[in-house]
């Protein structure tokens, strides 16, 4: 039986790890290299970096002079990949096969493509054909509207898509996506738990793994993502940043509740 993956998702903006809330508010909280080393020490199942920079700059800032000169996202990726011994997915502003090639060549095991997948489904197919479906992750950002319906958004949550989330997910699966990273825009940073309704609808509509993300405030939310959302894997960002040894504790929590997770720790 496959183990349930628990995946940290790290958002990059201007070269720094940021806390995201509602896809609109961001607070710098750390250095991407240091964060990778922390999760490496905890033997994380996988690591996802999403570059959400909006102005094209990648500056680590004065808080870490060691990386002061690095302004290229590929330089950041190379430094991460050099010491990363877990599967590494990288996404953000990927617009062409040339972009994908550069990410893979510089150390990414997978690419996460959101907006460009909608605009150019042929890119999804091309990635799957060249690198395998397992390397092509669809970034699917969904928002629950005021009337209770769910809508897909692209362009970092700013542009609505006029297609039902399940229909869109199935279309991207047919195009070649091997996995879906499903993020809830309105739950992002809210610590109110996953939107299990839309997770379940997407997971039940496709045959590829669905990774739930957005809204985790407590380890029990992971259980709901698995049980109620039917997610193949659970992911989070903020909850792992602010609690000491939180990733390891999350794994222990799920193991003790009877879930099949990889637990490579002695205690």
Tens digits of residue pLDDT in 53-85: 875 555 545 444 344 434 578 888 998 898 888
Q: Across the chain, what does the average pLDDT equal?
A: 89
What pTM value is reported for the model? 0.92
Rounded to the nearest 5 degrees, what angle is found at the Cα of 31, between the Cα atoms of 178 and 16?
70
Q: Left, alpha or beta for 248 (phi > 0: left; psi -120 to 50: alpha)?
A: alpha
Q: Please report the sign of the dihedral spanned by the C-alpha atoms of residue 108, residue 243, residue 190, residue 17.
A: negative
pLDDT attached to residue 70 = 40
- Whether 184 shows a pLDDT value over 90: the answer reads yes
Percentage of the chain with pLDDT > 90? 66
- Whether 47 shows a pLDDT value over 80: the answer reads yes
């490579």: which residue's tokens?
264
Joined tokens for residue 99: 């972009």
Within-domain flag for 189: yes
pLDDT attached to residue 112 = 98
Within-domain flag for 267: no
Within-domain flag for 262: no
Q: Could you tell me if 109 and 179 are in contact, meaning their C-beta atoms sit under 8 angstroms apart?
A: no
User: Residue 173 sits in which domain range?
Assistant: 5-256
Within-domain flag for 266: no
Identify the CATH number of the domain in which residue 128 sits. 3.20.20.70
Kindly report which listed range (25-29, 104-108, 180-184, 202-206) carries the lowest average pLDDT score: 25-29
User: Rounded distance, CA 144 to CA 232, Å?
Assistant: 21
Q: How many domains does the chain have?
A: 1
Within-domain flag for 250: yes
What are the pLDDT digits (tens) for 146-156?
A: 999 999 999 98
């Amino acid at each position: 039986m496959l183990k349930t993956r628990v995946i940290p998702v790290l958002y990059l903006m201007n070269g720094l790890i940021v806390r995201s809330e509602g896809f609109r508010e961001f607070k710098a909280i750390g250095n991407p290299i240091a964060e990778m080393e922390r999760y490496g020490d905890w033997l994380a199942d996988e690591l996802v970096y999403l570059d959400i920079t909006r102005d094209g700059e990648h500056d680590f800032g004065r808080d870490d002079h060691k990386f002061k000169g690095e302004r290229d996202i590929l330089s950041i990726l190379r430094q991460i990949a050099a010491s990363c011994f877990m599967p590494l997915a990288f996404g953000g502003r990927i617009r062409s096969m040339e972009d994908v090639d550069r990410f893979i060549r510089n150390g990414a095991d997978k690419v996460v493509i959101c907006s460009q997948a909608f605009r150019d489904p042929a890119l999804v197919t091309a990635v799957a054909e060249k690198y395998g479906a397992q390397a092509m992750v669809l970034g699917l950002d969904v928002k629950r509207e005021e009337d209770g319906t769910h809508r897909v958004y692209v362009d970092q949550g700013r542009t609505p898509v006029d297609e039902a989330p399940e229909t869109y997910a199935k279309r991207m699966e047919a195009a070649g996506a091997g996995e879906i990273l499903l993020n809830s825009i309105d739950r992002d940073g809210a610590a109110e738990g996953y939107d299990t309704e839309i997770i379940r609808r997407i997971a039940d509509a496709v045959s590829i793994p669905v990774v739930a993300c957005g809204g985790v405030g407590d380890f029990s939310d992971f259980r709901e993502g698995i049980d109620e959302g039917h997610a193949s894997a659970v992911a989070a960002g903020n909850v792992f940043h602010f609690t000491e040894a939180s990733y390891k504790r999350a794994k222990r929590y799920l193991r003790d509740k009877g879930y099949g997770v990889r637990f490579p720790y002695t205690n």
